[in-house]
Amino acid sequence: MKSVVPVWLVAVLGAISVAVLAEPENYLVFLPVVLGVTTLLTFGIQLGIRRKEGYVNRVTASVTGAVVVLILATIVLAPISFSA
């Protein structure tokens, strides 16, 4: 879990950054960028650990958690984006 939680935190910080810094009509443009960053971060962290055992489970947990965070952010931000 030590290598999974940082990815989730980056997803949360990325979603908050998009909500605060992006124009409302661009929310749905930048949330996939956050997902891409968290995916690359996941692979970077997991390759840095250099442990084979549990690799797939750790990557799955990291990416799934990031996707859940971004789904929740999309549920909140999409109506705002569509009304802009």
The band of 84, judged by pLDDT with boundaries at 50, 70 and 90, is confident
Whether residue 66 contacts residue 7, with contact meaning beta carbons closer than 8 Å, is answered with yes
Count other Cβ atoms within 10 Å, centred on residue 79: 12
Domain containing 32 equals: 5-79
Residue 16 resides in a domain = yes
φ, ψ of residue 74 in degrees (nearest 5): -65, -40
Q: Is residue 84 part of a domain?
A: no
| Residue 4: partners with Cβ closer than 8 Å, 6 or more residues away | 58, 61, 62, 65
Q: Is residue 40 part of a domain?
A: yes
Per-residue pLDDT tens over the stretch 46-76: 999 988 899 999 999 999 999 999 999 999 9
Predicted pLDDT of residue 39? 97
Residues 7-37: tens digit of each pLDDT: 999 999 999 999 999 999 999 999 999 999 9
| Position 82, amino acid | F
Domain count, the chain: 1
Asked whether residue 42 is assigned to any structural domain, the reply reads yes
Output the CA torsion 44→45→51→57 (10° steps): -100
